Homo-oligomer: A and B are copies of this chain.
Amino acid sequence: MPTDFAATRALFDLPAGLCYLDGNSLGPLPRTARERMARAMDEWGRLLIGGWNQAGWMAQPGLLGDRIGRLIGAEPGHTVVGDTLSIKVYQALAAALALVPGRRIVLSDTGNFPSDLYMAEGLLRMLGDGHALRLVEPEAVGDAITEEVAVLLLTEVDYRTGRRHDMPALTRKAHEAGALAIWDLAHSAGAFPVDVTAGGADFAVGCTYKYLNGGPGAPAFIAVAPRHAEAAPAALSGWLGHRAPFAFDLSYVPGRGVERFRVGTPPVLAMAALDAALDIWDAIDMEDLRQRSLALADRFIKGVLDAVPELELVTPREAERRGSQVSFRHPEGYAAMQALIARGVVGDFRAPDIMRFGIAPLYIGEAEIDRAVDVLAEVMERRLWDNPAYRIRAPVT
C-alpha cells in the first residue's frame, strides 16, 4: 500500500499555521516522542542502574542503528548510533586511512559540511607524516581521484545547494584508484532512498536530527561495509567498543564489527526520542517518499521561478542530481529569510547568500508549498526585507 502522506503530518506536533521548511536542519517533534521520553524518565527513576539491562538501554545503539540501516541500505548488524556526526566522521576517516596504508591524501570538496573538513584537518595534523586534505570544487571530484588518494570523504548532498553527488559512480572510481570512500548522509538519510551497499560505500555516517526527526542534538550513526567490519581499527577506542566492556581489562580488544565504533556510555534519554522518531520511518516506503519529495520540490521550484524571476535557483533541476532541499541565491537572502520566518514560512539561510528550503513530505504537502511560494513572492516583490529589524546579521543556526 503506498504511503499516505496526507496522514503522516498528524504524526508530528507542529505549531498551527506554521509552514516548516527547515526539517533539513532540525526535524519537528514526533507526537509519540513526549510519551516515549516520559517513559524513559520513568525507567530511570524506577529501575535506576537496572535500566541498562531491564529496559534494554545497553542494546539501543545497535537496535536504533539497524532501523537507520534499513533506510540507508546497510546490512543488518553493521550500523550503530552514538556521539555526534563530527565524532563519527573522525572514526570513519581514521579507520579508512588505516585500511589504505602508504597513502596520505584525503580528498574532499568545498561543498562538504565544514565540520567534516575540520575533523579531517585535526586528524591529519595529528597523523602528520605527509597526511593532507585536498579540497576541490564539487564538480571536480571525479577527476581528482588519483592513485595518491587514500580516502574520498564526501557529503552526498551539499548543505547549501542541495546538489547530490553520484555515490555509486564516485565510489567506483575511488575503488578503481585503490582508495576508500566515506559518505556523510546528513542530508540523505530520511530524505530519499539510499543504498550504501549497492553504492559500494566503505563507511557511511550521518546525523538523526534533520530528516529523521530525532530531536535537537540527537545522536549520530555510523555504518561500516561488512567487508571491513573486522579489519577496521577503532581510533576512538572507548570501553563500549571493547569486546568485553564489563571485564574491565586493562588493554583494549576491539568489539565485533561495527560494535567497536561505540565509544562511551550511550545517551539513553536522547535515544528515547530517536526511538519514537524511527517508529514513523519503520512504516515509510522510501521510494514513495522520493516521488513525493520530487513532486513537491518541482512544484516549489516552478512556483518560485514563475513568481520571482530574480531568485537564482542553485539546486540542480535533474532529479538524480539533487536531494530533498531547494536553494535559491539572492544578495538580500538573509534579510528576506527573516521576513519569511516572521510570516510563518520557516526556511533558513547559509552564508553568503543562500536561502534554503527543506522539503519533508512527512509533514509538508501542496498547501505548504503553495503558501511558501506566495509568501516568498510577496516578500520579494514588496521588498519586505527593508525592515531594519531584518538587517541585523545575527548568527542563524
Task: Produce 1/0 per residue, A28-61, CB < 8 A to B.
Answer: 1100011001100100111011111100011000
- A87 in contact with B83 (CB, 8 Å): yes
- Chain B contacts of A281 at CB under 8 A? none
Question: Is A197 on the interface with B (CB-CB < 8 A)?
Answer: no
Each complex incorporates copies of this chain amounting to 2
- A48 in contact with B28 (CB, 8 Å): yes
Q: With CB as the reference atom, state the residue of chain B lying closest to A35.
A: B41
- B216 in contact with A87 (CB, 8 Å): no
- The distance in angstroms between the C-alpha atoms of A235 and B245, with both chains bound, is 25
- Chain B contacts of A127 at CB under 8 A? 126
- B117 in contact with A250 (CB, 8 Å): yes
- A52 in contact with B216 (CB, 8 Å): yes
- A85 in contact with B215 (CB, 8 Å): no
For the side of the interface on A, what is the size category?
A: 35 or more
Of the stretches A1-9, A72-80, A288-296, A343-351, the one at the interface is A343-351
- The distance in angstroms between the C-alpha atoms of A252 and B119, with both chains bound, is 9
- The distance in angstroms between the C-alpha atoms of A76 and B348, with both chains bound, is 34
Question: Is A374 on the interface with B (CB-CB < 8 A)?
Answer: no
- B246 in contact with A396 (CB, 8 Å): yes
Extra pairs beyond A84-B265, A117-B252 (20, CB < 8 Å): A15-B48, A34-B38, A53-B394, A83-B84, A110-B250, A114-B249, A118-B241, A119-B237, A119-B238, A126-B127, A135-B250, A207-B265, A217-B265, A217-B270, A246-B395, A246-B396, A246-B397, A247-B351, A248-B351, A269-B273
